[in-house]
Amino acid sequence: MPSADQIRTVVEQYVKLVGAGATEEIVNLYAPDAVVEDPIGTEPRHGHQAIREFYQILEPLEKETELLTTRIGGNVAAFWFRLSTKAGEQTMNLAPIDIMEFDEDAKITSMKAVWSAEDLELV
């Protein structure tokens, strides 16, 4: 099982990379057979190619992220972070709670994001 420090490092990298739009680096944090459900209730994306397609949507956007809090228990992390994207004069803020499971190599095997359209804030 990965240590809490290893998991925390991956979570911090993940949030930073989402803000940077670094799709390939994000995909490399995942195990090859990982599953992403973002948001919960949508069709899960299985494997690197489907996960890559998901994050590529964010890549060209002007955005920034901030990790707000993290909790780790065993091989699971739950964390709350803020994602702000800008389109022209409009800013969209979203602060999902992500739940990730990790394998023994500290690769993400599962990610579920808890949020809904009601959580989007337009500024």
The band of 3, judged by pLDDT with boundaries at 50, 70 and 90, is very high
pLDDT, residue 14, reads 98
User: Residue 36: how many CB atoms within 10 A of its CB?
Assistant: 21
pLDDT tens digits, residue range 73-112? 999 999 999 999 997 888 999 999 999 999 999 999 999 9
The band of 120, judged by pLDDT with boundaries at 50, 70 and 90, is very high
pLDDT tens digits, residue range 34-74? 999 999 999 999 999 999 999 999 888 899 999 999 999 99
Two tokens, residue 92: 């969209």
pLDDT, residue 89, reads 86
Question: Catalytic residue numbers?
Answer: 14, 38
Domain 4-122 grouped into CATH 3.10.450.50 = yes
pLDDT, residue 88, reads 80
**CA-CA distance, 30 to 22, in Å (whole number)?**
13
The band of 21, judged by pLDDT with boundaries at 50, 70 and 90, is confident
Domain boundaries, the chain: 4-122
Two tokens, residue 121: 């804030």
- Phi and psi (nearest 5°) for 51? -65, -40
The band of 123, judged by pLDDT with boundaries at 50, 70 and 90, is confident
pLDDT mean over 28-35: 98
